[in-house]
């Protein structure tokens, strides 16, 4: 029986060593060791059981990649700047840094290849993740991700139990049956949504479907990382030992 093999870059991504794009770059540069031997040919296929290591220079590069937690205000776009609106990255400055979190990491004057991992629309606020680390980005936004995102949602009127039931398990968007959601009534005008997917304007559209008008949305948690006391418009680095 022929043993199943996988592309080395795919296996590296699955093991969260790096993203597939980064894996291809490391392979081309001869920075990947498979069972102790350098592999530098793109497209190489290997057994799923092999030992894979990045050499010291690749490891150093990986450890230097920054992940930033930002408390996005209303009116700020997550990614590309739009006419008359600022993008989140424009607010990541030393002045807006949260000084209560002590770290030796320094903010570079230029942040190349940093991407938003899980957008918030312009009319929503709260926890936004910007990262240079492909492993973090994939972990948060891949299609089969099970990372929870928690939101506080203010609505115009108290939700009925029938509406809550539909929000939790009975809706379809864009022809797609939504994954079960946790929706709790905090008080007459506030709901707590916990989702494991992030379709465009999902919460607003879910509420529209059951006849609820959304007044405000704030994301307060992604996985195990909480917004906490981070001030609106402020940011901090993801610290050593923290993980989503």
E-strand ranges in the chain read 6-7, 32-34, 37-39, 45-46, 52-54, 67-72, 115-116, 125-131, 149-155, 172-173, 176-177, 182-187, 190-195, 214-222, 225-226, 235-237
β-strand pairing of 190-195 with 182-187:
antiparallel
Q: What is the pTM of this model?
A: 0.81
Is residue 152 within 8 A of residue 163, CB to CB? The reply is no
Higher pLDDT, 99 or 171: 171
Is residue 215 within 8 A of residue 154, CB to CB? The reply is yes
**pLDDT > 90: percent of the chain:** 64
Mean pLDDT of 74-79: 92
Q: Cα separation of 167 and 146, whole Å? A: 19
Q: Cα separation of 229 and 243, whole Å? A: 18
Structure-block tokens of residue 58:
């690749």
Confidence check: pLDDT of 1 > 70: no
Confidence check: pLDDT of 81 > 70: no
Radius of gyration of the chain (CA): 21
Q: What is the pLDDT of residue 2?
A: 60
Secondary structure class of 235 (helix, strand, coil): strand
Mean pLDDT of 127-136: 91
Q: What is the largest CA-CA distance in the chain?
A: 64
Among 60-74, 103-117, 177-191, the least confident range? 103-117
19-46 pLDDT, tens digit per residue, is 888 899 999 999 999 999 999 999 999 9
What domains, with CATH codes, occur in the chain?
A: 6-63 (3.10.290.10), 67-143+227-237 (3.30.70.580), 149-222 (3.30.70.1560)
With CA atoms as reference, report the closest residue to 61 among 27, 26, 14, 110: 26
């Amino acid at each position: 029986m022929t043993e199943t093999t996988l592309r080395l870059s795919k296996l590296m991504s699955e093991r969260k060593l790096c993203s597939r794009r980064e894996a291809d770059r490391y392979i081309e540069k001869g920075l990947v060791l498979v069972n102790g031997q350098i592999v530098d040919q793109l497209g190489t296929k290997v057994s799923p059981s092999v030992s894979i290591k990045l050499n010291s220079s690749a490891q150093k590069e990986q450890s230097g990649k920054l992940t930033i937690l930002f408390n996005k205000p209303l009116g700020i776009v997550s990614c590309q700047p739009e006419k008359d609106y600022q993008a989140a990255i424009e607010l990541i400055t030393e002045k807006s840094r949260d000084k209560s979190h002590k770290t030796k990491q320094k903010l570079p004057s230029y942040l190349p290849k940093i991407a938003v991992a899980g957008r918030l629309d312009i009319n929503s606020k709260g926890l936004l993740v910007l990262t240079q680390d492909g492993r973090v980005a994939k972990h948060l936004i891949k299609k089969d991700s099970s990372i929870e995102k928690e939101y506080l949602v203010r609505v115009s009127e108290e939700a009925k139990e029938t509406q809550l039931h539909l929000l939790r398990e009975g809706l379809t968007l864009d022809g797609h049956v939504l994954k079960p959601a946790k929706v709790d009534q905090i008080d007459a005008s506030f709901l707590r949504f916990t989702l494991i997917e992030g379709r465009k304007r999902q919460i607003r559209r879910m509420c529209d479907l059951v006849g609820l008008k959304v007044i405000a949305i704030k994301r307060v948690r992604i996985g195990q990382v909480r917004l906490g006391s981070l001030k609106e418009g402020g940011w901090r680095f993801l610290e050593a030992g923290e993980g989503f």
